[in-house]
Amino acid sequence: MRERFRETTRGRRGRGAVVALTTALLVPLGALAGCDSGSADGAKHTSAAPRPTPKPTPLWDRSPASVAAVGDSITRGFDACTVLADCPEVSWSTGTDTGVRSLAERLGARGSWNFAQSGARMADLPGQVAQAAAKKPELITVLAGSNDACRDSVSYMTTVAEFRASFETAMHDLRRALPKTQVYVASVPDLKRLWSEGRGNPLGKQVWKLGICASMLGDADAMDSGAKLRRASVQDRVVAYNKVLKDVCAKDLRCRYDGGAVFGYRFSGDQLSHWDWFHPSKNGQGRLAEIAYRNVTAAEPPA
């Protein structure tokens, strides 16, 4: 009996040792499993789905709610309604005439202001921009430079360096006042093309003699080497001005140059004033508005 009891006791002890050893081996495995499925306090974590990367807000708003215009006689609608007079209601930028459908009208802008001045040069732009900035527009349109090339003689044309300095000052002042206001810059028109188109009209040439853009339009029928050189010099200066507009605008993320669209537009008799055959007519103002609207609302800036 005593021997049998000892054997039974040893058997139980053996089985107990086996169970204890098995438990000891299983516990670390369970603990390791717990490291994969939960935290130190036992809470389980699931892998969160990756959040989509938010798309950056585009810097160029294709539907600005307000427009202010700066520039020269073209933006004032000079000679588009009556001889030698402004007609801002037909302005390509901010006019209200339904026959033109200005940029502001096409955009459905709730506010528009015209600070352009006939005869203004690029040096006047900083002052005009300051006036425009006071209205806090979402878009400012710029069309200036014709009068810098249209002088009594070629020697009086604004130098390229002066032109650049004035435009840079205007942009710098605007950014200091309105960091987010957009700027649409139209290229200076092809003055030589306007001379070529208008010189066939006797009335236009008589008006030109009053002093309109003498550097290009003076002695309209002269074809001697001096006249050709004079016109070529004006043309080269306009091209240089447009390069300045493009370069300066390209440095500002909220500035869009028209890619030379206005310079490249071939104004015909219908698009020119029937008083001076140089400034855009009401029809011509409408064409400028079309160009501006196309560029302002485009997904990408013109090349």
pLDDT, residue 221, reads 94
pLDDT in tens, 130-154: 999 999 999 999 999 999 999 999 9
pLDDT in tens, 29-71: 333 333 344 444 444 444 556 666 555 556 899 999 999 999 9
The rounded distance, in Å, linking the Cα atoms of 209 and 200 is 14
Supply the CATH classification number for the domain 66-145+157-189+243-296: 3.40.50.1110
pLDDT in tens, 8-25: 444 444 444 433 433 433
Note the pTM of the prediction, 2 decimals.
0.81
Three state DSSP letters for the chain: CHHHHHHHHHHHHHHHHHHHHHHHHHHHHHHHHHHHHECCCCCECCCCCCCCCCCCCCCCCCCCCEEEEEECCCCCCCCCCCCCCCCHHHCCCCCCCCCCCCHHHHHCCCEEEECCCCCCCHHHHHHHHHHHHCCCCCEEEEECCHHHHCCCCHHHCCCHHHHHHHHHHHHHHHHHHCCCCEEEECCCCCHHHHHHHHCCCHHHHHHHCCCCCHHHHCCCCCCCHHHHHHHHHHHHHHHHHHHHHHHHHHCCCCEEECCCHHHHCCCCHHHECCCCCCCECHHHHHHHHHHHHHHHCCCCCCC
- Average pLDDT of the chain is 86
pLDDT in tens, 83-133: 889 999 999 999 999 999 999 999 999 999 999 999 999 999 999 999 999
Helix axes 225-250, 160-177, angle to 10 degrees: 30
